[in-house]
Structure 1
Amino acid sequence: MNLRKILTYVEDIHAEGGRPVGPVARTAVVLAVIENPWAGQGFVTDLLPGIDEVAPQLGELLAPRVVEALGAPVEAYGKAAVVGLDGEVEHGSALIHTLKFGDHFRKAANATTLLPAVEKRAVAGGVFDIPLKHITDATVRSHHQSIEVRVPDGPRADEIVIGLAAAAQGRPQARLAPLATEQ
């Protein structure tokens, strides 16, 4: 894996809807900007060798960092892959939609649900939203949220931005009834 840089964002929301949030609502994101392992190779039919090499390294690198940045037990989580213009969305999907990547985060967060994801192709500096859901029950509405992030100089055309996001709580001031009330 050719890593160019790692970015860490922490957002603390102190007020929402004109009211204080207590405790403060914290969300953390860790992003790795890497060289696309399939860049310059034309259409690659078998992505597995690149997946086997890169995905576990990314999961091992990012999962503990996002949990540490959050500084609290993880209640909601998500992932992202943003591919530079010379790559395919499939390249990002290949790295994040494998247990070799995701299980590192599940273990670090004591999670059991699927990790929600965003995958897209974008120019450097493109904005993307990472969706988050509850770590053990994806039907918990209060934890359905997203966080907007960007890498000012990435992904370059031959790069991929891979990210993990974690929240210590649901949305600030969440007040929707449980999904079970509609069934």
Structure 2
Amino acid sequence: MPEFTLRKTAIFIEDIHHDGGPAPEQPRRRGAIAALVKNPFAGGYTDDLQSAMEDLKPLGLMMTDRLIEAMGGMAGIDGYGKAAMAGERGELEHTALWHVPGGYAMRARLGEAKAIVPSAMKQGGPGTRIDVPLGHINAAYVRSHFDAMEVGLADGPRADELLFILAMARGRRIHDRMGGLSLAEVIGEDGLR
């Protein structure tokens, strides 16, 4: 069983009060939680990585719970996304370890979330930032919720670390007006519409 020793977590909350034009009735909230963990696969090649996703599920659940708390509770959370970054001794495939644990955790806690959890992966060192894509939790075609939140940590990921990120949003983009599937039209059966 690989060891993903947790070095630190950080939480980011943004309340967007204005973005030109008329002020919105309510600010839009975006939040992210980042965790730096030791990469047990750094510096070598391991053929079987998939089994390690199970070991990361508790981390995903802990991060999800902390982010929901920081967001002020589950009510109204209607957007989510995830990202991962490998340090220089890791490989891009190591970031794919986050697909199941990150997505599973948010779906488990947010209830009827049906849409695929948007994801981004890359390699980088300390201070490298990544755009975490956001989409609607029940219908991927809801254009008003297409967004991204830039996240990074000054001291990671180190060469032998992985940076795992979960992000959530409450509400659509301020002044969205690009059409597409509206919230009122969401059926929520297949995760697309």
Deviation at 1:18, TM superposition (A): 4.2
Partner amino acid, structure 1, of 2:124: A
CA distance in 1, matches of 2:58, 2:87: 20
CA distance in 2, matches of 1:113, 1:67: 18
Change (3 A) 1:61 1:83: same
Gaps of 5+ in 1: none
Deviation at 1:97, TM superposition (A): 1.7
Q: Is the 8 A contact 2:82 2:102 kept in 1?
A: no
Q: Is the 8 A contact 1:37 1:50 kept in 2?
A: no
Deviation at 1:49, TM superposition (A): 3.6
Partner amino acid, structure 1, of 2:79: A
Q: Which runs of 4+ in 1 moved over 6 A?
A: none
Aligned residues: 176
1:67 corresponding residue in structure 2: 68
**Percent identity over the alignment?**
39
Q: Deviations over 1:162-181 (max 9, x none)?
A: 0100000111111111249x
Residue pairs, 1:121-140, within 5 angstroms: 121-140=123-142
Partner amino acid, structure 2, of 1:80: A
2:103 corresponding residue in structure 1: 102
Partner amino acid, structure 1, of 2:71: L
| Superposition RMSD in Å | 1.5
Residue pairs, 1:2-17, within 5 angstroms: 2-17=5-20
Partner amino acid, structure 2, of 1:69: A
Residue pairs, 1:39-58, within 5 angstroms: 39-40=42-43, 42-53=44-55, 55-58=56-59
Gaps of 5+ in 2: 183-193
TM-score normalised by structure 2 residue count: 0.86
CA distance in 2, matches of 1:88, 1:19: 45
1:92 corresponding residue in structure 2: 95
